Amino acid sequence: MCIAFPGRVVAIDGAGAVIETEGRLRRASTLVVTDLVIGDWVTVAAGTVLARLDASEAEEVRAMLLAAAQPPQDGTSPNHATPVMHEGIE
């Protein structure tokens, strides 16, 4: 599974862009969003810049993803699923 994560454009060249995400630099294709400038906040998934974000959107998405990655506070396993019961289905 690939999760789109926000990052900031730190370099652009003919092959794409370099995106800084949580202190990590990675290359990303700019075929979908072609008019980037250094400093833009973007969403990257599967090695491709998918959308431009404003700074507040980027921080909101970042905070949600980091919170989702934290272990549950109730001591259950992160992969613990609560069974869902549906009326009429056994």
The structure tokens listed for 8 are 């900031």
Q: Between residues 56 and 2, which one has the greater pLDDT?
A: 56
Length of the chain: 90
pLDDT digits (tens, 9 = 90+) for 42-76: 999 999 999 999 988 888 888 887 888 777 776 66
Who wins on pLDDT, 23 or 86?
Answer: 23
pLDDT at 21: 87
Residue 80: the pLDDT is 53
Class of the CATH-defined domain 5-66: mainly beta
What local confidence, expressed as pLDDT, does residue 34 receive?
Answer: 93
Whether residue 85 is predicted with pLDDT greater than 90 in this model: the reply is no
Q: Where are the domains of the chain?
A: 5-66
Q: How confident is the model at residue 7 (pLDDT cuts 50, 70, 90)?
A: very high
Instruction: Give the pLDDT of residue 89.
Output: 47
Q: What sign does the dihedral 30-33-34-38 (CA atoms) show?
A: negative
Q: Is the pTM of this model over 0.95?
A: no
